[in-house]
Structure formats: C-alpha cells, structure tokens
Amino acid sequence: MQKNANYERSFFMKKLGLGKRVLACAASAATLLTGTTALSGLTTLGSMAASAASYDNYAKLLQYSMYFYDGNMCGSDVGSASQFDWRDNCHGSDEVDGGFHDAGDHVKFGLPAGYTASTLGWGYYEFKDSYDALGQTAHLQALTDRFCDFFKASTKLSGDTVTSFCYQVGVGQADHDVWCSPESQNDQSLRTAYWTSDDASDIAAEYAAALAVNYINFGNAEDLKYAKALYNYSIKTNKANCPEAENFYRSYDYYDDQAWAAGWLYLATKDSTYSSFLDKFMNDTNAGKSGQSGCKWGVYSTMCWNNVSLGAAILQSEITGDAMDWAKVTTYLNGKCTSESTYYCESDWGSARYNTALQMAALATTKYSAKSGMDYSSWCKAQMGMILGNNPKNVNFVVGMDSNSAKYPHHRAASGYQSFDEMKGRTDYSSNGHTLVGALVGGPADSNFTYTDSVNDYQANEVALDYNAGLVGAAAGLYSIYKTGSVDSSIEGVSGSIVTTTKATTITTKATTTTTNKPVTTTTTQATTKRNITTTTIATAAPSGGKTANITTGTQVGTDGDKQMYAEFAPNGAKTATLYYKVKTSDTNSSGAFGTW
C-alpha cells in the first residue's frame, strides 16, 4: 500500500535519529525559496494571521489543532520532538520520562491523557482519508505514539500481567502554586510519580483503549500487548479512587472506560470476549458493578474525559450494525444537536471542548448514516463555524488560526512569565511570550458568547489535552465531508521554515513519460540545513492537457553516518509519491534501486 509521503519521511527520520524540525526544513526548503511545492495539498501562504477569517478551512484546522500537543510535550527529548521552536527539554529527571503536560500546568495526569490519546486515535480511525490527503498522518502518529510510549513506560509487567502502573507524575496542588516555563521548573519535589497495584481502573482502561486503537492504526504489536494487560488489570481491580488526582480529575465511573477499551480491543483482535463485555455494558444497568452505569436505558453523557459511554456506544453500533444500538446513539445526539444558529453550550467551563467532542461523535455517526439513519454534518458545520469566529464576538477560539483568534491562553510555557508576580493584573502575554498555535481555549460561558481573552482567566482561556482531542477529530470529519480549505506550508514559530544556507542551481530534465514533452529548464533554490539535508525542486514539462510534474530530490545524512536519498514527485497530477535509497557513508560503492518501506 502506498504510504503518505510525510509518513515516509517521518519513518526515515526516526531511522536516522534526526529531529522532526530538521525534516520539516528539508521538506519545505524548496517551497519557501521558490514559491513552488511538490507536496500535495499545501499552499504557499505562511501567515498565521489571515486577512479574512474562514469558517470552513477544515484542512488548516486539522493541521493547526495538532500543533497544540507539541506545545505540551514533556521530557528529555522535547527540544527535538516538539515542532515548536520555543519549546525545549524539561522534567528530564521524572521517574517516567516523556508524555505531555496536562494543560497550562506541568502535571501529567493519567485520565485525561488516556482519554485524549484514545480520542485522537479514534479520529484517525474514522477519518484516515483526511489525514492522508492533507499530509497530516505522520504528525498524528508522532503524537499518539508519544502518548502510548509514555503509557507503556508507566506500566510494569510480569509476563502479561500488570504488577503496577503510574497514573500521575507531578504533585497537583503544589505544581499549580508555581508559574514558570517547564524548562525552568527544576524543583524535583513537585515531580512525584504515583503508582498503584490495586486501583485506578478507569485510567488503566483509558490507557488500554489508547494502545489498542494505536495498534489498529499503526500496527505496533507491543501496543496491543500492553493494551490487553492493562484491560485485564482494570476489569480485575474495578476501583477508581486516586486521591492525588481527585481535586483535578475526580472520576466516579470506570465501567464506561472498560467498555471503550473492550470495543477497541475487539476491533484489534476480533476476540469475542471483548465484544461480549461491550455488549453487556450496552444492555445492562450496571452489570453487577455498584454505582457503575451501563447503557441499557441509553447513552447518558457527552464524550469527555470523565465519561466515554457515547464513544463506546458508537463502537458497539459500528460492530453490530444493529438498529437498536444505533438508536441509543442517535436518541442522545438528537437531543443535543438541535439548533444550527445557537451555540451548543454544555457547560460554562470549557464549553468549546464539549462542543467539538460532540461534533466528533456526531460526525462518526454520520459516517455510518446508512445504518444510523442520521446525518449531522450540517449541524457540525454550523457549530464549527461559531468556534472559528462566526459569532457575535467575532472571536476564533483556536489560537493562531486567524487575526481574530484568541491570543492569551492560560498557559505557562507560552505566556513568557516566570512568576505569578510578573503576571499579576495582566490580560496579555509578556514580551517573551509565544503563540500556542492550534490550542482550543475554553470558550464562551454561555450561548451568548460571554468571553474574555485573558491569560489570567483560567475558565474561559484554559487549554488542555482533552480540549483539543475532539477538535482534531471533528476537523478531520468535516474535511472528509466538505473537502474545504488548505494547509499552510509555513507557520511562524513552528519548525520547518528555517534554512541556514542556500545556493541557486540550474537543472535541465526531460520527462520520460511521453515523447511529446519538451524539456523545461528552471532555476531553483537548493537549501542545505545545518544537518546536511539538501533538497531541490524540479518542474518538468507535461504532455498537452496535463499538469506539471514537480519533483523534489534530496539527500539526508544522519548522525550515525547513514545517508538517505529520496525523490518525491507528482506525475501528471497524481498523488505525491516518495522513493528512497539508503547507503552508508563508509560504502565505497553501492548498487540497488529506489523503493519505499
């Protein structure tokens, strides 16, 4: 199967041990310097602040919404892993390295992280076509792999049995009493890791769900191994009582999380043990679990970190195709997805998060309209338009997308402030602040769009892992239906637009697909980054009525001495293809052929 070109490049860079920042430089160098591109779906517009707001640029929304997670990366590799120029390594001494900070704070909470990773994976599972068409698959995989790597590192196994797992890194209240960038937070007393061997069933199940869907999406067998083990731990333990997390993410249910994980494990394995558990959840009140609610009487909550019953019900309906299962989903959605002119406001705290998560669920249901009997695309389009600025305040609640976007989310790393005293009384950022590209702020407190863009407003301007999870999937779902908008080839503050040296070359090439083609000589710019990555874009003549076939060639050398040469082309308007040939710098000669893997 032909893989997306960006995915191929990401895979290659992991082989070489080079940062994604350098890869992005190579991918965009010719584009930035010549104004042409060989990457499918890209535009040459590089400004974050658009001259006019666009309420249906779903391509750009999908691209931008994932960048928020680069801003929240944690660990000893952030400098190379994050796409943000202004983020760097932090908290490298954590007992469990890696993962993501939860929100504007620096704690790594398990429950919202598990929910986020599984929801991001769900979005790709349902709308893979959007990610592939827009070249966003590699970024999505980098994020979900990072979540899953952290979950696996947080889990101790004896054979296939979980002996203990870490459900939180960081002391919640003590961390919230500090305001500084993560790079400058060196107090290890705030970085306690909390482990359990007989609790946190909800978190273990969310980890399992995320790992299972990541296995489905990208095929890492180790993800499936850990998913099974964590699921078995969860259904054996059946407790959700984690004191360290209660003041921030108090969960009363674990049954819905277990059903969510069971659905993904069934899709990953086709083992009826998992589908039977999910079916029990759908058709029992509590399945013998005191205080735990099943869906016998219907779905009872919107999709969020605290309840995934709606997602579990949609998975059950997809698996069975049963009209009664779909009816439980659509009955709930029909009660929520009502007005296209009134903003859906589930709560005065983080309303945009609930709105976009509901959109994600509604769009997944719409995908199966032949079975579900419902199409919510128009409602989702209208609601997303309000999120993107079609509202009385003329505010786009996604940071960095347009000139009218929210600018001052409640986020330590982005704010530029190094203490509460510095920030006291301010609504805007420090002169050292940064744009938290793609972050979805909490949003309006009501359907009348009561909202203030202030760094000190932790209700309206909070950002968090779970806030963006539904937004990413909804953007992919809307693009899958409407195919509107385009991605940006260069974004201020995001790696990929830095070139250290340039030189002009003249290259003549002949197209070999037809004898009627005439060679076209073009002067292009060849850019070399500090890590020996060279790219050249060549425009070849096309046959009468055809499209120019841009070809990008490049050479990339890793720190281990391995060298990759690649050729990327889009012949006659076809989808972009990328071929690779690998040699070692120590080789005196080499023979072979270009290929993909």
Question: Contact, 71 vs 439, CB < 8 A?
Answer: yes
In this structure, are residues 27 and 496 in contact, taking their beta carbons and an 8 Å threshold? yes
- Cβ contacts of 161 within 8 Å, gap of 6 or more: 229, 232, 233
Largest CA distance in the chain: 77
CA distance 475 to 465: 16
Give rounded-to-5 percent helix, strand, coil for the chain.
Answer: 40, 15, 45
Copy the structure tokens of residue 255: 């049954």
Sequence length of the chain is: 597
Whose tokens are 């976009």? That residue is: 356
Closest CA relative to residue 192, chosen from 106, 250, 73: 106
- Of 453, 466, 488, 568, which is the active-site residue? 453
- Quick check: 415 and 430 in contact, CB under 8 A? yes
The answer to whether the Cα torsion of 597, 18, 486, 72 is positive or negative is positive
CA distance 20 to 340: 40
What lies within 8 Å, CB to CB, of 316 at 6+ separation is: 259, 263, 278, 279, 281, 282, 325
483/178 Cα distance (integer angstroms):
44
Q: Which residues does 30 contact at the CB level (< 8 Å), separation at least 6?
A: 36, 37, 38, 524, 525, 526, 527, 535, 536, 537, 552
CA neighbours within 13 Å on the CB side: how many for 536?
17
Q: By the 8 A CB rule, do 101 and 451 touch?
A: no
Active site residue 453: yes
Q: What is the dihedral of CA 414, 417, 420, 426, to 10 degrees?
A: -90
Q: Which of 102, 462, 466, 488 is catalytic?
A: 462
Place of tokens 């002996």: 163
For residue 408, give Cα distances in angstroms to 317, 464, 525, 548, 567.
41, 14, 38, 43, 42
244 is catalytic: no
Which helix (H) or strand (E) is 158 found in, with range? Answer: strand 155-158
CA distance linking residue 323 with residue 92, whole number of Å:
51
Question: Nearest to residue 537, comparing CAs of 548, 549, 550?
Answer: 550
* Phi, psi (degrees; rounded to nearest 5) at 100: -140, 145
Q: Could you give the residue numbers annotated as active site?
A: 453, 462
